[in-house]
Amino acid sequence: MQKKERFQRFLDYFTQHYPEPKTELNFGNPYELLVAVILSAQCTDKRINQVTPALFARFPEAESLAAASVDEVFSYIRIVSYPNNKAKHLVGMAKSLMERFGGEIPATVEELQTLPGVGRKTAHVILSIVYNEPTMAVDTHVFRVSHRLGLAPLTATTPLAVEKALMAHIPKQYVPKAHHWLILHGRYICLARTPKCPACDLRDFCKYYEKHPELGHSGLK
């Protein structure tokens, strides 16, 4: 199967079955999304959604978070991964927002990445969801599923390489949605250790399944 056809099959399936995918992080505005995405690094969205209601109630905007102590922020997020570092990042991010951007969320990758706790992946998530920009945030799910489906070559060994491979073949209007399609497929079907191949409708063009057809029966490696 040619790469162009492989991408078309991917797009055809998801536009038909999941035309309006959304992030599973709960948020009410761009500031809350930025906080949630920073917290979500190496942590599940479910866990983040457990801590953000109280956190947002206490710090409803960047101004109040900027004035907070790291210790107090830590007390709200202690159950997430790396809470010490993330508490520092959140306070630093809020101070930067207030001092340099008037409390508004920047609209460029370059500006977003100057904020503490914000890397390329986080910046792309914000641009995609808040500003509907055609940016592809590559997390562990996107990285894994892209390789297994054959959307990214095995030689694409970094998130940036996978990002470029996907951006080269996915039409701009579908990029924000494709980010969610890949994440959700990796989160619920194409699991890292035990992919649920019997439940997957993409098996007929999946390179990983082609090499491991036994997974269609056992679901186990």
Could you give the CA distance from residue 27 to residue 52 in angstroms, rounded to a whole number?
8
Residue 190 known to bind ligand: yes
Residue 43 known to bind ligand: no
Kindly tell me the burial class for residue 167, based on how many C-beta atoms sit within 10 Å of its own C-beta (0-12, 13-18, 19 or more): middle
Within 10 A of 49 (CB to CB), how many other CB atoms are there? 16
Could you give the CA distance from residue 188 to residue 2 in angstroms, rounded to a whole number?
27
Indicate the DSSP class of residue 81. Answer: S
Q: How many CA atoms lie within 13 A of 33 on its CB side?
A: 19
Could you give the CA distance from residue 179 to residue 170 in angstroms, rounded to a whole number?
10
Could you give the CA distance from residue 12 to residue 3 in angstroms, rounded to a whole number?
14
Name residues whose C-beta falls within 8 Å of residue 119's C-beta, 6 or more positions apart in sequence: 113
Name residues whose C-beta falls within 8 Å of residue 158's C-beta, 6 or more positions apart in sequence: none
Residues labelled catalytic: 121, 139
Place of tokens 């599973």: 24
Binding residues for [4Fe-4S] cluster: 190, 197, 200, 206
Which residues line the annotated binding site? 190, 197, 200, 206
